[in-house]
Amino acid sequence: MDNLIKTLQDKKSYLDLRKQERVTLLEILDRALEKGVVISGDIVISVADVDLVYLGLKVLLSSVETMERLRGAPFSGADEEPT
């Protein structure tokens, strides 16, 4: 994500960058906390609070759609490789 911000620094406003950062984090959350390899059974310990991490961060970040509506601006920059 740091690379992304560096890449866009010259051509984006601060607000654009903040928005971009949040969109990127949302995309990461949707993957790292919802997808990927899930191991079943007693041999794995799942952090009990992981669901709260997901819920908490989602609430803090709102959703992509809501951000888009509230800010009223198109995804300027968000379509340019956020990783």
- Single residue of 10, 34, 70, 72 touching another protein by CB under 8 A: 34
User: Contact between 8 and another protein (CB under 8 A)?
Assistant: no
Map residue 59 onto helix, strand or coil. helix
- Single residue of 13, 15, 18, 51 touching another protein by CB under 8 A: 51
Task: Give the contacts of 68 (CB within 8 A, at least 6 positions apart).
Answer: 74, 75
Contact between 27 and 82 (Cβ < 8 Å): yes
Footprint of another protein on this chain (CB under 8 A)? 1, 23-25, 27-41, 43-47, 49-58, 60, 63-65, 68-69, 74-75, 78-83
